[in-house]
Amino acid sequence: MAKVGVFFRQLASVHPRFGTPAFAILAAGVWTAVLTLTGTFEQLLTYVVFVGWAFYALAAASIFVYRKRQTSPMTYRVPGYPWTPAAFIAIVALFVLNTIVHQPLRAAIGIAIVLSGVPAYFAWRKWPSGADAPVRVSRRP
């Protein structure tokens, strides 16, 4: 996102000597520290696992869309298709619903964290960010 100008530009930079996204790693470390100070491990785990499983189900559901749109010969197979991905989605839906029922506040916080990215994304798209400026990428010799 930083490379295309919809996030802090500095996060797209790569260290000239080591070829790593050093600033992005530092920013992720700082954000992790902030998160650890705001809640217990169990709370953070619930947010991450709840949202993560929801996105795993969406990723699995995408196989149905790709199969429907496919125009070329099939280059991959899913064992037991369509029952295997459908069963996975159903089981994940039960996990997600279980969290919503038994820990509604944590589920709501997890969803709110994810949804907070939507207005941030649209705000970044409106502000001039120098998206046309080259991103500093260097390869180690």
Give residue-wise pLDDT tens across range 38-87: 878 888 888 888 899 999 999 999 988 888 888 777 777 778 989 999 99
DSSP code of residue 134 = P
- Average pLDDT of the residues in 91-106: 93
Count Cβ atoms within 10 A of the Cβ of residue 70 and give its class: 0-12 exposed, 13-18 middle, 19 or more buried.
exposed
Residue 24: inside a domain, yes or no?
Answer: no
Residue 93 lies in a domain: yes
Does residue 69 fall inside a structural domain? yes
Q: Does 25 reside within a domain?
A: no
In single-letter form, the type of residue at position 34 comes to: V
The token pair that represents 35 in the structure block: 């998160």
Number of domains in the chain: 1
Q: Is residue 66 situated within a structural domain? A: yes
Residue 28 included in any domain: no
85: containing domain? 40-102
Asked if residue 67 is part of any domain, the answer here is yes
